[in-house]
Copies of this chain bind each other. A is one copy, B any other.
């Protein structure tokens, strides 16, 4: 196996583990598939893995986690317009696995251009280089330049000009060269 294949295999194994598949066969010539789910908790999962699972896919948990319901209830119960103004965003992106997502390293307000009315630093379709300024995040009256950490094409912007962003929130998606 070459390293490329090794990587694919790794991903496949990760995927099967995540989905609690116990056995999996596949043939190509005229396709044969065989899937057998694991018996439940073959080994006690470690904390980090668990946290990841909880964070990424609560609905796939073997037992219904209290979390999503609590959240739903809180929203349902609260005062007239309880929609979290700021939260919610961070998990939404990352759908296309090939894209690199630039995330906000700080809490603050997102600005697309160096000053009001001037042209944005970047727009969809631009080719960007590592270190190129993509936007400004204002925090405590300080303007923080946010640099690109991958070279490639800007394919998506997740936030609006003037929008508040939290730590780790997705800002841009870059298709790496």
Residues of A that sit less than 8 Å from B by CB: 1, 3, 6, 8-13, 15-17, 19, 21-38, 40, 60, 62-64, 97
Contact = CB atoms under 8 A, between A and B. Distances in A.
B26 A31 contact: yes
A17 to B, nearest CB: 7
B8 A12 contact: no
Nearest to A8: B1
A28 B37 contact: no
A13 B57 CA distance: 14
- One complex includes copies of this chain to the number of 2
A19 B13 CA distance: 8
Contact of A62 (B9, B60, B62): B62
B8 A22 contact: no
A55 to B, nearest CB: 18
A15 B10 contact: yes
B24 A33 contact: yes
A9 B1 CA distance: 9
B36 A26 contact: no
Contacts of A16: 35, 37
Contacts of A62: 40, 62-63
B32 A28 contact: yes
A1 B12 contact: yes
A1 B60 CA distance: 23
Given A28-B31, A31-B26, A32-B26, A13 B3 contact: no
A84 B19 CA distance: 34
Nearest to A60: B17
Given A12-B1, A63-B62, A37 B23 contact: yes
